[in-house]
């Protein structure tokens, strides 16, 4: 028995076939629109983390709620905070005199510094000043930011009294959400990998071309958009981070890669948040790209003045 394409009874199908096509089209459009004219917004719970004291990470004392960017509008210095957010996202474009590499701050600080294990800024405002092993002296937040400018972005330090530096600090202060200095958000800035693993560079090269080259390029050159702005940063070469950057160290880079890359794969978290590679995979691929040619850092002679240099340091 013949049926219409709509699987209607024969009489109904015959009747439909006799209707003008314009009428049929209008009917189908009305049906489609009726199902979509009042979409219900998707409700998402705000991301929350535990608050703990700086003296005892096991003492749960409250909750930190990750703020939405729209809440910046409620702040008295909203313009400054938004400017800081832009600078961290578009560092190379907005601060070319201070950035030598084709990098932005948020090339490494995932999702605007809001992702645990992705070098978040959430605790940064309260974490400093602090004595840092690499410098062997106390560093405040401005000093830490300038360390990134000179190393990770192979550039020049920013005047601590400049509008740009104050704006970047203001964004990090806003992200801290007035958490007292005696407390911290119970998240880790980076994950862990087995540092006893011995890297296999040849295997790392194969992993790179299978998992990383699509975004970072066959020659580690990264990717830019049609305007020349950075989409994915270069991992080696003259436009990449210099030898003094943390990402030039095998195990430090491996921890970042394992828990944050490749970004196109999502097993959990707010975006493609890693956990695709094993520890050995991450160590192998990190050894491959971290030891590629890159700019020198003359200030390296002053690093680890009290000893205890990490075994993966490039110098």
pLDDT tens profile 140-173: 999 999 999 999 999 999 999 999 999 999 999 9
Strand partners of residue 132: 137
- Do 68 and 177 form a contact (C-beta atoms < 8 A)? no
Report if residue 171 sits inside a domain: yes
| Of 124, 158, 185, the domain-final residue | 185
Range of the domain at 253: 201-302
Task: Give Cα separations from 209 to 161, 285, 314 (angstroms).
Answer: 44, 10, 23
Identify the CA nearest to 123 among candidates 65, 180, 171, 176: 176
As a 3-state breakdown, the chain gives helix, strand, coil percent values, each rounded to 5, of 40, 10, 50
Classify residue 219 by its DSSP letter: T
Task: Convert 124-136 to b/e letters by CB count within 10 Å (16 or more is b).
Answer: bbbbbeeeeebbe
| Of 159, 185, 211, the domain-final residue | 185
List, as one string, the DSSP characters of 248-265. Answer: GSHHHHHHHHHHH--TT-
- Do 92 and 99 form a contact (C-beta atoms < 8 A)? yes
Task: Give Cα separations from 252 to 18, 105, 181, 189, 282 (angstroms).
Answer: 71, 17, 27, 11, 10
Report if residue 154 sits inside a domain: yes
Same domain, 97 and 177: yes
Phi, psi of 63 (to 5 degrees): -135, 135
Q: Which residues of the chain have pLDDT under 70?
A: 1-44, 57, 264-273
Angle at CA of residue 292, ends 291 and 293, nearest 5°: 120
| Of 185, 220, 242, the domain-final residue | 185
Pair of tokens at residue 292: 């590629």
pLDDT at res. 270? 54
Helix residue ranges per DSSP H, the chain: 10-18, 21-34, 78-89, 91-94, 110-113, 124-127, 141-150, 163-176, 201-207, 213-216, 250-260, 279-290
Same domain, 163 and 271: no
pLDDT at res. 277? 94
Q: Which secondary structure element, helix H or strand E, spans residue 51, and what is its range?
A: strand 48-53
Sort strands 183-185 and 223-224 into parallel, antiparallel or unpaired. Answer: unpaired
pLDDT at res. 29? 44
pTM: 0.82
Same domain, 160 and 276: no
pLDDT at res. 11? 41
Report if residue 190 sits inside a domain: no
Same domain, 76 and 181: yes
pLDDT at res. 135? 95
- Do 213 and 290 form a contact (C-beta atoms < 8 A)? no
Sort strands 137-139 and 130-132 into parallel, antiparallel or unpaired. Answer: antiparallel
Task: Give Cα separations from 150 to 34, 101, 253, 288 (angstroms).
Answer: 57, 10, 18, 23
Report if residue 68 sits inside a domain: yes
Report if residue 236 sits inside a domain: yes
Report if residue 211 sits inside a domain: yes
pLDDT at res. 45? 72
d(C-alpha 120, C-alpha 115), whole Å: 5
pLDDT at res. 53? 86
Report if residue 37 sits inside a domain: no
What's the gap between Cα 127 and its chain centre? 19
What are the pLDDT digits (tens) for 254-291? 999 999 998 865 555 555 567 889 999 999 999 999 99
């Amino acid at each position: 028995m013949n049926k219409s394409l709509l699987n209607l009874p024969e009489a109904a199908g015959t009747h439909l076939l006799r209707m003008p096509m314009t009428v049929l089209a209008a009917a189908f459009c009305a049906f489609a629109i009726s199902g979509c004219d009042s979409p219900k917004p998707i409700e998402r719970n705000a991301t929350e983390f535990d608050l703990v004291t700086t003296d005892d990470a096991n003492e749960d004392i409250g909750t930190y709620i990750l703020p939405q960017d729209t809440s910046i509008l409620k702040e008295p210095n909203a313009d400054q905070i938004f400017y800081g957010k832009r600078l961290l996202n578009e560092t190379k474009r907005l601060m070319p005199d201070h950035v030598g590499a084709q990098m932005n701050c948020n090339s490494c600080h995932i999702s605007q510094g809001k992702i645990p294990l992705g070098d978040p800024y959430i605790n940064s405002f309260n974490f400093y000043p602090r004595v840092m092993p690499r410098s062997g002296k106390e560093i405040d937040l401005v000093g830490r930011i300038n360390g990134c400018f000179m190393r990770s972005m192979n550039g020049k330090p920013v005047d601590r009294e400049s509008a740009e530096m104050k704006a970047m600090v203001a964004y990090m202060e806003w992200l801290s959400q007035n958490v007292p200095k005696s407390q911290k958000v119970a998240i880790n800035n980076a994950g862990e990998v087995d540092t006893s693993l011995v890297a296999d560079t040849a295997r790392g090269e194969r992993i790179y071309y299978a998992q990383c080259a699509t975004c970072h390029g066959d020659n580690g050159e990264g990717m830019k958009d049609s305007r020349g702005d950075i989409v994915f940063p270069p991992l080696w070469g003259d436009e990449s981070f210099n030898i003094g950057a943390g990402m030039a160290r095998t195990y430090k880079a491996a921890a970042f890669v394992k828990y944050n890359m490749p970004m196109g794969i999502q097993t959990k978290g707010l975006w493609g948040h890693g956990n695709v590679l094993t520890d050995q995979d991450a160590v192998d691929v990190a050894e491959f790209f971290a030891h590629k040619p890159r700019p020198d850092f003359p200030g390296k002679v002053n690093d680890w003045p009290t000893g205890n240099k990490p075994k993966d340091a490039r110098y």
